[in-house]
Amino acid sequence: MGQDQTKQQIEKGLQLYQSNQTEKALQVWMKVLEKGSDLVGRFRVLGCLVTAHSEMGRYKEMLKFAVVQTDTARELEDADFLLESYLNLARSNEKLCEFHKTISYCKTCLGLPGTRAGAQLGGQVSLSMGNAFLGLSLFQKALESFEKALRYAHNNDDTMLECRVCCSLGSFYAQVKDYEKALFFPCKAAELVNDYGKGWSLKYRAMSQYHMAVAYRLLGHLGSAMECCEESMKIALQHGDRPLQALCLLCFADIHRSRGDLELSQLKLHCLSEVIYRSKGLQRELRAHVVSFHECVEETELYCGLCGESIGEKNSRLQALPCSHIFHLRCLQTNGTRSCPNCRRSSMKPGFV
């Protein structure tokens, strides 16, 4: 199969895939992979297979094709192709929750010199790294990476990337319990979809709606949460996006549980454990649990450097300084600090997020 025929078959597969004929698209692409002799075409079709298997939730197969794509990039001896393949390796490992490997591949991407694709893909690398840091509960590093990704998006007018970063920031603030920001950023993503997303895949709308549903549920706005989750699930079913379907099912369960007993659903595991130990008079276990909890808070830097209280136990408004350290907004307003209490860097310029 020559270069022109390979290109035609890749395009045919894309048309099938966009019309939700996923299995037929995969058959076309696999045929190209088996019979195609053009290395560039082989590289491109492997990228299509990586994306398709990611959206189907077949992450091991996604990783397998990403590895083959990297081998092909090495044969081509092209730094741009190598950068793209390493990014797919990072994404594959991110999906498999191999976060340390994700970070390693992202650093490899950032270390590749003189690539034309660097400006285009650098933001996506930072986003993937941020998601991995978030998976490891390294919140400051996650926030730094998301801010870098936002700067790439703004500097290159990449509204698709900005949309994805906003969704990740929604997850970030949901985890640290600033529910207003957990809603603000997915809403911003939804605005980007409405304003610029006419030719985008519907997955961007589904993604923003899902993160809005999570935030609405956490805020107790269960009707809005259900509406957004239903919209996201509808798109996920249409496009066979199994990972998003699973997330929506979990969100539905959380919404229904919240309707039954909202206060109970918002309790943290450590609070439940503390009550159990205290009620049973298990003082040794209680002390060990409290110590473990505070060690975890200190390790993840989930505490306010001004008041000393932990962040993430309850809904509270937060503010990130330019150094990416996080504080209670009320503490910053009360103290009027001109430098970060944690690292003493200047806090005169407002943070990105």
CB 112 within 8 A of CB 89: no
DSSP string, 149-180: HHHHHHHTT-HHHHHHHHHHHHHHHHHTT-HH
Interatomic CA distance for residues 49 and 61, integer angstroms: 9
DSSP annotation of 197? G
Closest residue by Cα to residue 211 from 165, 168, 265:
168
CB 129 within 8 A of CB 168: no
Block mean pLDDT (10 aa), the chain, length 353: 80 84 89 85 92 88 95 90 93 95 93 68 92 95 94 92 96 94 96 87 91 95 93 86 86 80 43 58 72 64 77 78 83 78 62 49
Closest residue by Cα to residue 31 from 57, 61, 8, 55:
8
Burial of 171 (0-12, 13-18, 19+ CB in 10 A): buried
Question: What local confidence, expressed as pLDDT, does residue 57 receive?
Answer: 83
Question: What local confidence, expressed as pLDDT, does residue 263 receive?
Answer: 39
One-letter amino acid for residue 253 of the chain: A
CB 102 within 8 A of CB 88: no
| pLDDT tens figures, 306-347 | 887 877 667 788 888 887 788 888 888 887 766 787 776 655
Question: What local confidence, expressed as pLDDT, does residue 116 receive?
Answer: 60
| pLDDT tens figures, 233-252 | 899 888 778 888 888 888 88
Question: What local confidence, expressed as pLDDT, does residue 268 receive?
Answer: 44
Buried b / exposed e along 242-279 (16+ C-beta atoms within 10 A): eebbebbeebbebbeebeeeeeeeeeeebeebbeebee
